[in-house]
Structure 1
Amino acid sequence: MERGIIITPNYSILNNGHGLEMNGSVEPTNLRNYLLFWDKIDYPTNNMIHIGGGQDVDFLIQEGIAKSTQIRFRELRGDQNGFLPLATQMAAYEENNKVENQEWSIAQPTNNLIVPQQYAKKQGCLEFELYNAIQVPTGDVPLSEVVEFKNKRLPELLALRDAMDSIVDSVITSQDIPKRKNKAINKLHRDLNDFNRVMKETGFQRVKRSLTAVATDPWFGVSNAMMLGNSYLPVNYQPYIQGLNVAALGACAVKFSYRELSVGKNIPAEYKHFAYLSSIQKELV
């Protein structure tokens, strides 16, 4: 099954999540990260306020890797205007997930997931973070070179993506956050080493990256929401951090936690790899 990611213009969160400050098109380093780990990219636009994707998105559309879904809103209330790019993202998410044999998630360029109220429902979620564990090309690296690298090193990229997905799947299926290294975490460690080794060999200018996967867990629906405070969570659901030593990066970590979040109201009843949040470290590697 092909995996797709729906992205947004670059923005900062204002007033504790009550508004956005727009900072142009998709952040270039984020775009290179999305290109490495997803099969398809969608940069949706709308008929109210247009923020173009720029030359990078245009290039990926020409290469058949990206598209730009056109979202048309009939009207927009004043209280929704500040979240128009995220409303556009969620409308595209609902549209893309009607396509068979494709699985789409959303990506946001901050540590805090925001879903506009008209598209949202509350849901218990597993957050799985790779902290400072990935190095990705900076925005100065030509996209054509990143595409070439992806085509040459697809096995390493797929292995790391599969390792991340497998850990999330196993935690939700077993209802147990691992408190020590197990088979899945050992595989992730090996795949991180392989990925960062081949990334270093490219000679690209690179930055450290933290990536958080948000997966919905149907067991933590509304009726179990009160359990998501740490004082109520069973031992097997308590937050957990485990250190890793990754080639070329040094000390890194994997983090697990359960939280109640606003997610897409039309996601399936079964668990879903819903969102990916990213943060970039400033220092080069």
Structure 2
Amino acid sequence: MAPPIEVTDSGIISGKIDLKQQIRMLLFFWDKIILPNNNILHINYSNVDDINLLQQEKILEIEEVWLTGLYSANKDMFLNVQEEIFHSYNHDGAECLWSLQQLHEDLSFQASKNIKTTLQRTIEFELYKAIPIPKKSIPLEEILNFKEKYNDELMTLRLCLSAMYDEIIRSPDQIYTKSIKLSQLVKAIDDLHKSMDSHKVMKNKFLASKKIILRTDFSDLIGAIPAGYGIYEGMNHLGIPSPLSMLLASLGAFIKIGIKENKIIEDIPRELKDYAYISRIEQNFA
């Protein structure tokens, strides 16, 4: 996970990131968490009850990285720390497949010299206020109990989000596959909502957002989608199943579809290809 601080061009802002909420969101979707720390900007977590509990349960581990040389306390420093830890854990034969969290708006791999990016026209699907997340008032024990009982629903949603890009890009009929994958996604979201609503504690949730970026060629849709195209008009024409529209409406959410230039990784390194990712739930994940 990313450290609970915000790094801007003007410096470091502490206290702006809601650590209790971050922990619950991470715990809800992931089984293991590594919290990086370093000797240049060291954060003391000893008095954070949530951190202590997850350490006792062997779910969370604080990984200390010793930096030598001259470093400025900026975004690149934290990226270096995160990526050093990530690559030390995410290797052939590793017990788990790890994801890399980032809290700034755009995914960044500046610390990795071997990753080349290019600007490319993409289609963006944004599900606003559609993904249920436990509120920070919910005890961690309740989240763990819920995960054990409803593991299938959580895994189905994770797999839908993770597989959407790969399955569409590999399909000989990408428009049809996109429609099928969106139908599967809406069912997975709906099932998770129902499971949480049936739980006496977990029904206390808030709705987060999800962005899916597809770099595939949707040339037959380009003329039909103006930049910033949004809400419900023309969804069916764009191949989006009507149940998704109805579900999002019932949640007070909406879908936005647009064409945008995004910084795309030209050739994703092999070690980054196979792990599941959620590109945005409130903030960014790689």
CA contact (8 A) 2:128 2:253 kept: no
Aligned to 1:56: 50
Q: Say yes or no: does 1:106 pair with 2:88.
A: no
Distance (whole Å) between structure 2 residues aligned to residue 269 and residue 85 of structure 1: 19
Match of 1:194 in 2: 191
Residues of 2 paired with 1:274 and 1:237: CA distance?
Answer: 26
How much has 1:208 moved relative to structure 2? 1.2
For structure 1, which segment, 50-59 or 37-46, has the greater mean C-alpha deviation from structure 2 after superposition?
50-59
1:31 match: 23
Unaligned runs of 5+ in 2: 231-239
The count of residues paired between Structure 1 and Structure 2 equals 255
Give the deviation of 1:11 after TM superposition: 3.1
Spell out the pairing of 1:1-285 with structure 2 (5 A cutoff): 7-15=1-9, 20-23=12-15, 27-53=19-45, 54-78=48-72, 81-83=73-75, 84-98=77-91, 99-117=93-111, 121-123=115-117, 129-174=126-171, 178=175, 182-202=179-199, 203-204=201-202, 205-212=204-211, 235=219, 244-246=245-247, 249-253=251-255, 259-261=262-264, 268=271, 270=273, 273=276, 276-279=279-282
Deviations 1:35-72 (A, max 9, x none): 11122211121222212443212211211222222222
Q: 1:11 to 1:143 in 2, by over 3 A?
A: same
CA contact 1:189–1:244 (8 Å) conserved in 2? no
Question: Would the alpha carbon gap of residues 269 and 44 (structure 1) be closer, same or farther in structure 2, given more than 3 Å must change?
Answer: closer
RMSD value over aligned CA atoms? Answer: 3.7
Q: Secondary structure at the match of 2:280?
A: strand
Q: Deviations over 1:69-119 (max 9, x none)?
A: 2222222333xx212333221111111112524221111234322334455
Q: Which moved more, 1:169-178 or 1:52-61?
A: 169-178
Three-state SS of the structure 2 residue aligned to 1:104 is: coil
TM-score (norm 1): 0.72
Structure label with greater radius of gyration = 2
Secondary structure, aligned partner of 2:100: strand
Q: In percent, how many aligned pairs have the same letter?
A: 23
Farther off after superposition, 242-251 or 262-271:
262-271
Q: Deviations over 1:7-52 (max 9, x none)?
A: 012233524xx75423377622222121111222111212222124
- Give CA deviations for 1:185-237 in whole Å, capped at 9, x if unaligned: 1111111001011122234432110134679x8xx9xxxxxxxxxxxx66169
Q: What is the rounded CA distance, in whole Å, between the counterparts of 1:148 and 1:266 in structure 2?
A: 36
Distance 1:263 1:86 in 2: 19
CA gap of 1:69–1:263, structure 2 versus 1, over 3 A, is farther
Distance 2:267 2:18 in 1: 22
Does the CA-based 8 Å contact 1:90-1:119 persist in structure 2?
no
Match of 1:283 in 2: none
One-letter code aligned to 1:56: D
1:244 Cα offset (Å):
3.1
Are the structure 2 counterparts of residues 102 and 258 from structure 1 closer, same or farther at C-alpha, using a change threshold of 3 Å? farther
Unaligned runs of 5+ in 1: 1-6, 221-232, 281-285
